[in-house]
Amino acid sequence: MSETSISEVGTEPVSAEAPKRPRFLLREMRSSCATQRIWKWSLPASAGRLPDGRTYNTCPSAGICRDLCYARAGTFRFSNVLRLHQSNLQYVLDEPEAWERQMTAELTHRRYRSQGSRTHVRIHDSGDYFSAEYLDAWLRIIRSAPEVVFYSYTKEVALFNERVREDPPGNFFWRFSYGGTQDELIAPGDLHVDVFPDEESLAEAGYTSQAPSDLRGAYGPETLGIPANNLPAQRKRQGAQTFRALQRAANEQRSARRAQRRGPAPRRPKAD
């Protein structure tokens, strides 16, 4: 995975005016599949431009999912929502230490002390672990709050294999998500999720649907499936395929194009 820091990608200077930081960084998840209180942390999905002119890509290993992304459509595109997600990103980029301190302190607040069940935080309902430094910051935050359960979907397979797999925090559940450029690194037995055209195709493939509860992302079986969102343009583009199948086809096409550009392999001279 590329460890390109987003702040290195931009070309424009950072605004001198200090932005106002929110009192709380985590928001409550409002979703029909959030069956209990779940808090979330969001970044803007994929590539874009911050209000100060810097460009970013929060999903460096996104593949075919980029064109089918639920978080690049619908309410995620509302200006107030996008602004909030971009200001989250700006905070991480401009003041990573202050952001980490605030997140760590926030998790000790009484609103995260749940009565009865454990408190859950979904890291990224949009965006991904865009750099090693950012992932490491999250690992420190997660370790600082052992009574909270954190979970994530990610396409950063190499980064997780390198930095998380060997010694993960006990209160962190992650799951690889198909449709990215690192799909081929997802090994048999890895917890994963694939996006299916509908519930029927998901069940036919022997997958468990995530639809009844978002917490299946944390506690669900190895093979979890998400039925495609109700976004007509994305559904049309996806057709009858899963993200995994579409990514495999895209990879094969790319390899074929490369082979064509290289031309036929040079013939060895025949031995006399």
1 is a site residue for ligand SF4 (CB under 6 A): no
Residue with tokens 């290993």: 61
The distance of closest approach from Cβ of residue 131 to ligand SF4 in the complex, given in angstroms and rounded to an integer, is 14
Instruction: Find out whether 181 and 62 touch, Cβ atoms under 8 Å.
Output: yes
For ligand SF4, the closer of residues 21 and 237 by Cβ is: 237
59 is a site residue for ligand SF4 (CB under 6 A): yes
Sole binder of ligand SF4 in the list 21, 27, 37, 66 (CB under 6 A): 66
Of the listed pieces 14-22, 63-71, 203-211, 259-267, which binds ligand SF4 according to CB under 6 A?
A: 63-71
246 is a site residue for ligand SF4 (CB under 6 A): no
Burial 231-254 (b: 16+ CB within 10 A, else e): beebeeebeebbbbbbbbeeeeee
For ligand SF4, the closer of residues 71 and 215 by Cβ is: 71
183 is a site residue for ligand SF4 (CB under 6 A): no
Binding residues for ligand SF4 restricted to 141-170, rule: CB under 6 A: 155
226 is a site residue for ligand SF4 (CB under 6 A): no
For ligand SF4, the closer of residues 127 and 220 by Cβ is: 127
Binding residues for ligand SF4 restricted to 4-23, rule: CB under 6 A: none
Q: What is the DSSP track for 83-138?
A: HHHHHHHHHHHH-HHHHHHHHHHHTTSGGG--SSSPEEEEE-SS----SHHHHHHH
Instruction: Find out whether 50 and 57 touch, Cβ atoms under 8 Å.
Output: no
Give the C-alpha separation, 207 to 193, whole Å.
9
Binding residues for ligand SF4 restricted to 100-139, rule: CB under 6 A: 126-128
For ligand SF4, the closer of residues 62 and 135 by Cβ is: 62
Of the listed pieces 60-68, 202-210, 223-231, 250-258, which binds ligand SF4 according to CB under 6 A?
A: 60-68
Beta partners for residue 152, in sequence order: 174
Q: What tokens were used for 3? A: 């460890």
For ligand SF4, the closer of residues 26 and 145 by Cβ is: 26
Q: How many other C-beta atoms can be found within 10 angstroms of the C-beta atom of residue 163?
A: 16
For ligand SF4, the closer of residues 14 and 73 by Cβ is: 73
Handedness of CA 163, 167, 172, 176 (dihedral sign): positive
40 is a site residue for ligand SF4 (CB under 6 A): no
For ligand SF4, the binding residues (CB under 6 A) are: 45-46, 59, 62, 65-66, 69, 71, 126-128, 155
